[in-house]
Structure 1
Amino acid sequence: MKLSELPRRTAATVECVEDALPNDAIARRLRELGFVAGERVELMAAGPFSAEPLLVQVGYTRFALRRSEAARVRVSTAAVGEAA
């Protein structure tokens, strides 16, 4: 599932960040911010207009992401209990 599809207040584990293009600067920046495999992530809230931006928590840090940016992050809700 994509991070942009995750229900609010549901914990998940990052599987990977998908590159839209070769040498994708946005995907690389998401990895630098902490969106790496095994990291716990949670969608906290969505903005009032067209549900953008998304407020996402990775570890103890919160980020505002565009829906298109969040769609690059693949997550799984199955292994959350093991990762925490």
Structure 2
Amino acid sequence: MTLDDIKLGQACRIVRVNLGGATGQRLMDMGFTPGAKVKVVRNAPLVDPVDLTLRGYHVSIRHQEAGGGLRLKNYEETIGR
């Protein structure tokens, strides 16, 4: 699943980051790395940006920045792994 697929309040784990270049590096520097838990806190009325919690802080990103490049899995499916 991707960032576009998760719903408000849903928690997921990052499985893979498929973004290269400056955008991919910037997101990884912000903590978007495999194994990190993300949760959607709020969606803007016109879809962008999406407000997430990640590693204990809030971050807002545009879907086009990370939409298809972050591969996610439901958090409940990853517990105990």
- Work out the percentage of aligned pairs sharing the same amino acid: 22
Q: Give ranges in structure 2 of 5+ residues lacking alignment.
A: none
Following TM superposition, the consecutive aligned residue runs of length 4 or more in structure 1 with deviations greater than 6 angstroms are none
2:11 paired with 1:3: no
The answer on 1:62 being equivalent to 2:58 is: yes
Partner of 1:82: 80
- Of the structure 1 ranges 30-39 and 68-77, higher mean CA displacement relative to structure 2 is found in 68-77
Q: Note the alpha carbon deviations across 1:37-67, whole angstroms, 9 max, x for none.
A: 1111111111112x11100111211111001
Q: Which runs of 5+ in 1 are unaligned?
A: none
RMSD between aligned residues: 1.4
TM-score (ref. length: structure 1): 0.83
Normalising by structure 2, we get a TM-score of 0.86
1:31 — aligned with what? Answer: 28
3-state secondary structure, aligned to 1:82:
coil
